[in-house]
Chains A and B, each alone.
Chain A
Amino acid sequence: MQYLVSVIDDKTNSGTPDEMIAINAFNDRLVADGNWVFAGGLSDPSTATVIDNRGGEAVFTDGPFVESKEYLAGFWVMEAPDLDVALKLAAEGSKACNRKVEVRPFL
């Protein structure tokens, strides 16, 4: 079972050196324990481009599809047997990156 752990923030690339050390240590443990699938930080939403190709011709729009004060600043995809394990890992992830996170299961 895979879970998306979204890092919620109102800025991007704002991790301090200490936070980066904690995040790396946490990631190493995810890999060692078999919970790692993927993770990454994202650039600011203002760098996003929305594409709509439903009409036959692709339309490109500058900016995020939804404006909000807080947004997805980074994420993990984790492998966990159930939500209890996922919540525990997400709690550790929140502590490591010093941000709020959201857990959502994949279909």
Chain B
Amino acid sequence: MVAALTRRFGDLDIAEEAAAEAFATAVERWPADGVPPNPGAWLTTTANRKAIDRIRRENKRDGKQKEAQMVYDDDPPEPLGAIDDERLRLIFTCCHPALAMETRMALTLRMVGGLTVPEIARAFLVQETAMGQRITRAKAKIKAARIPYRVPSAEDLPARVSGVLAVLFLVFNEGYLATGPDTDPVRHDLTAEAIRLTRLIRALMPKDGEVAGLLALMLLSEARRSARVSASGELVTLDEQDRGAWDAALVAEGHRLVRERLASRVAPGRYQILAAINAVHTSVRDVRDTDWSQIVALYEQLARLDPSPIVALNRAIAVAELDGPEVALAAVDRLEDKLAGYHAYHATRADLLRRLGRSQESRAAYDKAIELAGNTAETAYLTRRRDQLA
């Protein structure tokens, strides 16, 4: 509804407030008057009226703003399904390259995902007022600089879609490994919203390999969600997860997408390779059957596209299974300069040192990892592992 109102009135603030006012009116009136026969249409009509009222009020208050803020909607009434088009337009506006990355994420969650400002502030560990200001500033920029409210033209679409995917991947990750001492370790609202929005993008661009790859990656991760955190709120690593608890339907859908990309014979991008790695992990019922050589090969392929130390770290974790912890530790230690502030670097070292029987060094590495980890389930897991050391 916010998307449709934005399109009609060309203003995110007015759209948001009109929608909220319409819901408030409904809460007030429906219990007394009864629920109208078509509640959705009632809300839309009411919100439209509220928006027009508001614009009239503002125009009266400020003569200078007489230049109508309304962008007239000349199109005939939209058929069902057009709501998705509206959402897409809104996503592309929220993920515009003229906005900062954090702003794009926040705005997408607020405007498209419908999260509240306090929820978003918590997700990004910033003060509520600061997050409110960030979103207000972004909306003001969209309006003043006239960031268009539309799906980009075909020639711009690939570059703009990759920007949207980056935002959705970050939103998913924030949900999948939520940070913050009082935060649930997994924010299902964020992961579900990221998946839903990625499906929308896929409907727009069904042939785009990276869109399919990101969707597959999210599905294969989401499939393991319930097995990833124990009843006591502790992270369960891939090798210890109850694979029977994985969501078989999501795994099957993810595998289908990965196979579709393999069959295309087009060189895969980053998300497709990550999805393929997850497909290898999720294709065996017993961790001992995992094809580690294939996983190492995929990480090497990924490192050629993205030579980041984090990819090198993940490759080393797979190497530990293939060539043993000693070889892996040597590779991990080479990353110290770049990853000394990253908890997963220390957690990986701690695990490798533990497997090599170097308990004292392992303990120190666990301490460092616990200090840096922001996810409650991960902290609980690392603490138990450390305390189990001889």
Having A87-B97, A104-B145, one finds 19 other A-B pairs with CB under 8 Å, namely A3-B145, A81-B146, A82-B146, A82-B147, A82-B148, A83-B96, A83-B98, A83-B146, A83-B147, A83-B148, A84-B148, A84-B152, A86-B145, A87-B98, A103-B145, A105-B144, A105-B145, A105-B146, A107-B144
Across-interface contacts of A3 in B (CB, < 8 A):
145
Q: How far is the CB of A4 from chain B (nearest CB, A)?
A: 11
For the complex, would chain B's binding face be called helix, strand, loop or mixed by DSSP majority? loop
Tell me the nearest residue of chain A to B149, going by C-beta: A82
Number of interchain pairs (Cβ within 8 Å): 25
Q: Is B74 an interface residue (CB 8 A)?
A: no
Q: Is B156 an interface residue (CB 8 A)?
A: yes
Instruction: Indicate with 1 or 0, residue by residue over B56-72, a CB within 8 angstroms of chain A CB atoms.
Output: 00000000000000000
Across-interface contacts of A81 in B (CB, < 8 A):
146
Across-interface contacts of B152 in A (CB, < 8 A):
84
Across-interface contacts of A83 in B (CB, < 8 A):
96, 98, 145-148
Q: Complex formed: what's the CA distance from A3 to B144 in Å?
A: 11
Q: Complex formed: what's the CA distance from A107 to B146 in Å?
A: 11
Of A82, A84, A103, A107, chain B has the most CB atoms within 10 Å of the CB of A84
Q: Complex formed: what's the CA distance from A84 to B96 in Å?
A: 9
B156 touching A84 by the CB < 8 A rule?
A: yes
Q: Complex formed: what's the CA distance from A65 to B282 in Å?
A: 63
Q: How far is the CB of A90 from chain B (nearest CB, A)?
A: 11
**A54-107 interface with B by 8 A CB criterion:** 81-84, 86-87, 103-105, 107
Across-interface contacts of B96 in A (CB, < 8 A):
83
**A10-62 interface with B by 8 A CB criterion:** none
Q: What are 25 A-to-B residue pairs whose CB atoms are below 8 Å?
A: A1-B146, A3-B145, A81-B146, A82-B146, A82-B147, A82-B148, A83-B96, A83-B98, A83-B145, A83-B146, A83-B147, A83-B148, A84-B147, A84-B148, A84-B152, A84-B156, A86-B145, A87-B97, A87-B98, A103-B145, A104-B145, A105-B144, A105-B145, A105-B146, A107-B144
Q: How far is the CB of A25 from chain B (nearest CB, A)?
A: 22
Q: Complex formed: what's the CA distance from A83 to B144 in Å?
A: 10
